[in-house]
Structure 1
Amino acid sequence: MVNCNARNRDVISLSKHVAATASPKTSTSTSSSSPSSSTSSFPSSSSSNLSPPPSAVQASPSFVSLPRMVPPNATITLGHKGVPVHELPEEARVRVPLCSARGKVCVAGIKRKLSDGGAKLWQEENAEKTNVGILRPSHDAWGIKKIVFIYCDDFLRRCFEMPWFHDPEWQALLLPVFQALNVAPRMVVRCLLASMPPGIAIPPHHDTGYWVHYSHRIHLPIETDPARIVFRVGPSKDRLQRYDLPEGCLVELNNQAKHSVDNLWDRSRVHLILDYLEKDSIERSILPPGAKLHQTRRSIDLESEHGSRPCPSFLILGAQKSGTTSLYEYLCQHPLVLRARRRETHYLDWRWRREEHLTWEDHRETYLRFFHAALLNENPSCMTGESTPSYLLHSDIVLPRVRKLAPTAKLLVILRCPVARAYSQYQMVTDPEGSVEQKKARGSHWLGKSFEEVVEAEMQDLERHRVHPTMNYQEFKDGYLSSRPLGHGSHSLLGRGLYALQLQPWLEAFGRDQLMVMFMEDMASHNAVQAQLGKVFDFLGLPPHSIIDTHAKNTRAYTPMDERTKARLSAFYAPFNQQLFQILNVHERRWEARE
């Protein structure tokens, strides 16, 4: 017997991990400790410290006296469901239909089937053996029982047809309902019977998820008493109106409007609830009895797909001080992206275990400790990644390790005007604020030196290693990269801005299909961030999603750069930038050294 409460905790666990990314906390620290010594430094993935679904709410007897209305013969279009109704301007709210009568069907056959099947039909244990178990965490916590026939994930990527949907007796009862709505079975993405216990209330809410905007929600009361079942819907919580939903009446609900139910009857209220699309555009699977699913709030995966997505799925390689923190935090706002235990793992450069006896499998085991690998194995629709901006520079050691440990990972590189990038790095390294750990990671080599002094030393270092725009990567690697230190960030002030030389080996090894190059300057506004993230989500194979927080992360305020120094650096970088634009086959940018 499957412990449904345990399964609920599992799904809540990953959902909470994912949901936590909606309001991320920016972390700029990078610990130098190795995870190989202990895993206790990582946050626990246990669900014991996570909040459970909401507890059942008691129905309010005072609602029985509310005036009762009949659903109108209105037309609810998908255009009425673009945003939650309460977010619309007042003049628009009043024009949005809240519910609509869609006809009548005979429900006597469904009532008889439920009566003959008795309590066993509603038991989770029975569903998990002869049908397929599905979690609806909030409804399950409220004690609402269910019989599921069709169910899709929140992003409408997959739709599962359950064994009971293909049972001839159930088909004979369900298909007439679809026909009454003039809806083909392949258009239905969710279909279930829900039994709401007496004395329970579903509090005012509106449905969320990508699917809501593209589907029509239908309620068909099977067993009810409109005098004692108080169904309310309205443009906002304080303007709910009561509507009667009699047995056999098909009612479309605009589930972007606030709605609630109070069961003041002495019996369970039973509704058939279904959602259908206007276009047949979703992958469908017919599941065998007893198939096991793993769910998060927004995803559904088959147990047979366990571990099918490699971990990690993406790496942000750099460049340092070019918006890598912002990009990572933006990505982690997607409901299907689970942040790593540590954003900057540095495992592939600074923290690489150097014991001679270690195999690649040993390294992979250590690397996976930086991620919630067990949760992700169960939920391969979700993904994770890391952001270590020094990887781009250290291609000589990092690239072969990526090919061994994350060969299929998508690679992201975000670039910035190299002059502004250099000044930003200097300001970070010499910033007196920060923890001991942060200061150690930054390094102390430039403390007490002016920016101009560091620039001059860097110019001499590049000249000593004979770095020039037309050199090949092997020369750059042997003459310059091999001399770069590890373990701190106060080096390569100018070398990190030689983007063409750094990108060349990554492009040759992984190609443009696996590596995406972006520019920080293209994310200068809220709309610009949304547009760029849309491209990144598509590159990663994620469904579209609008993020909420588009503010830049890990920023500092500092005095402007000296104009003569700026001019000197702009002239120095000009031929290197020309090489970059040719490699990327993009129009030349007029990079301005805005600090």
Structure 2
Amino acid sequence: MGALVDFIVVGAQKAGTTALFDYLGDEPGLALSDVKEVHFFDDENLDWTSPDYGRYHARFPAPDGRLRGEATPIYLYWPQSLERIRAYNPAVRLILMLRDPVQRAWSHWRMEYARGVETMPFARCIREGRRRLFDAEPWGHHREFSYVERGFYGEQVERLLQLFARDQLLILQSDDLRADPNRVLAAVRGFLGLPSRPPAVAPREVHVGREMDYGSTLTPADAEFLREIYARDRARLAALTGLSFN
């Protein structure tokens, strides 16, 4: 099968994974995929009884001693993706970027609205709009309309930790990357076993949302509605990781 990919940024969408991937592109000890999001382990068109990993490896530079990695943030959320990753490389290291789930949902909606994929207002999407996932395939999951569902971090991390050892997972926060990228990158280097480097990175903005009229705002009522939805899962995440979004 050849040299395996060493690490994967598995989530979460709209939580700074693009910025992290951009920063990691400057690390001399890393060989990243030719695109940020490879979308291999969430590909439902593949024969997962006998997957062609050669197609996956073709997205990376030839093995040259550097660690190979990619960032496809849907992997945390999409059914069977983590199980497929474990079947591929049970020793892989996983990086998880998290963001306040309310802000993540709002940012996700803005992206889909700007792309023209979404036409409903945010308030409706996080309420009755969630019914659209009942008609999705796989059932209950949707690549675009999963504004609320992707924010159940506790449930998703619990599933991840049933498949991988805790020391294979590094959890980071998007706010920390924005405020102090050098500290976050130092944590990543330590996690991946790379040599330490002096702080030399200036904060950068990557993949900022479009400025346009979205026709919606994140209202206090919407934020409170989502916080109530996430309350139990937030406690679950805190129990698993010690991480809490206030």
Fold-level match, TM-score > 0.5? yes
1:563 corresponds to: 220
Secondary structure of residue in 2 paired with 1:408: coil
Deviation at 1:494, TM superposition (A): 0.4
Deviation at 1:370, TM superposition (A): 1.2
1:346 aligns with 2:3: no
Please tell me whether Structure 1 or Structure 2 has the larger radius of gyration of its CA atoms: 1
1:30 corresponds to: none
Please point out which of 396, 413, 417 is paired with 2:96: 413
1:389 aligns with 2:73: yes
1:370 aligns with 2:23: no
In structure 2, what is the Cα distance between the partners aligned to 1:570 and 1:515? Answer: 26
1:540 aligns with 2:192: yes
- Contact preservation (8 Å) 1:345, 1:370: yes
In structure 2, what is the Cα distance between the partners aligned to 1:514 and 1:413? Answer: 11
1:520 corresponds to: 174
Quick one: structure 1 residues 549 and 353, their matched pair in 2 at CA, closer, same or farther if it must change by over 3 Å? farther
TM-score by structure 2 length?
0.87
In structure 1, what is the Cα distance between the partners aligned to 2:176 and 2:22? Answer: 17
Deviation at 1:547, TM superposition (A): 4.8
- Contact preservation (8 Å) 1:316, 1:389: yes
Deviation at 1:538, TM superposition (A): 0.4
Q: How does 1:350-361 map to 2 (within 5 A)?
A: 350=43, 352-354=45-47, 359-360=50-51
Please point out which of 10, 15, 23 is paired with 1:317: 10
Please point out which of 479, 483, 486 is paired with 2:139: 483
In structure 2, what is the Cα distance between the partners aligned to 1:350 and 1:519? Answer: 27
2:120 corresponds to: 449
Per-residue displacement from partner, 1:16-62 (whole Å, max 9, x unpaired)? Answer: xxxxxxxxxxxxxxxxxxxxxxxxxxxxxxxxxxxxxxxxxxxxxxx
- Contact preservation (8 Å) 1:484, 1:492: no
Q: How does 1:145-544 map to 2 (within 5 A)?
A: 310-350=3-43, 352-354=45-47, 359-360=50-51, 363-372=52-61, 374=62, 376=63, 379-380=64-65, 382-394=66-78, 396-432=79-115, 444=117, 446=118, 448-459=119-130, 482-485=138-141, 489-525=143-179, 528-544=180-196
In structure 2, what is the Cα distance between the partners aligned to 1:589 and 1:428? Answer: 22
Deviation at 1:365, TM superposition (A): 1.2
- What's the % identity of the aligned pairs? 26
Select the structure with the greater relative contact order (CA < 8 A; seq sep ≥ 6): 2
In structure 1, what is the Cα distance between the partners aligned to 2:99 and 2:106? Answer: 11
In structure 1, what is the Cα distance between the partners aligned to 2:200 and 2:27? Answer: 7
Deviation at 1:534, TM superposition (A): 0.4
In structure 2, what is the Cα distance between the partners aligned to 1:318 and 1:549? Answer: 23
Deviation at 1:343, TM superposition (A): 1.2
Quick one: structure 1 residues 413 and 587, their matched pair in 2 at CA, closer, same or farther if it must change by over 3 Å? closer
Secondary structure of residue in 1 paired with 2:154: helix
Partner amino acid, structure 2, of 1:514 = Q
Secondary structure of residue in 1 paired with 2:67: coil
Per-residue displacement from partner, 1:176-227 (whole Å, max 9, x unpaired)? Answer: xxxxxxxxxxxxxxxxxxxxxxxxxxxxxxxxxxxxxxxxxxxxxxxxxxxx
Higher helix share: 2
Partner amino acid, structure 2, of 1:371 = F
- Contact preservation (8 Å) 2:77, 2:156: yes
Runs of 5+ unmatched residues, structure 1: 1-306, 433-438, 465-479, 591-595
- Contact preservation (8 Å) 2:182, 2:201: no
Secondary structure of residue in 1 paired with 2:124: helix
Secondary structure of residue in 1 paired with 2:114: coil
2:230 corresponds to: 573
Deviation at 1:348, TM superposition (A): 0.8
Per-residue displacement from partner, 1:60-107 (whole Å, max 9, x unpaired)? Answer: xxxxxxxxxxxxxxxxxxxxxxxxxxxxxxxxxxxxxxxxxxxxxxxx
Quick one: structure 1 residues 353 and 461, their matched pair in 2 at CA, closer, same or farther if it must change by over 3 Å? closer
In structure 1, what is the Cα distance between the partners aligned to 2:121 and 2:74? Answer: 23
Deviation at 1:333, TM superposition (A): 1.3
Partner amino acid, structure 2, of 1:540 = L
Quick one: structure 1 residues 588 and 319, their matched pair in 2 at CA, closer, same or farther if it must change by over 3 Å? closer
- Contact preservation (8 Å) 1:344, 1:387: yes
Per-residue displacement from partner, 1:508-533 (whole Å, max 9, x unpaired)? Answer: 211111111111122232xx211111
Quick one: structure 1 residues 335 and 328, their matched pair in 2 at CA, closer, same or farther if it must change by over 3 Å? same
Quick one: structure 1 residues 351 and 575, their matched pair in 2 at CA, closer, same or farther if it must change by over 3 Å? closer
Deviation at 1:352, TM superposition (A): 4.7
Higher strand share: 1
Partner amino acid, structure 2, of 1:555 = V
In structure 1, what is the Cα distance between the partners aligned to 2:228 and 2:128? Answer: 17
Runs of 5+ unmatched residues, structure 2: none
Partner amino acid, structure 2, of 1:392 = L
Deviation at 1:568, TM superposition (A): 1.5
Secondary structure of residue in 1 paired with 2:43: coil
Deviation at 1:569, TM superposition (A): 1.4
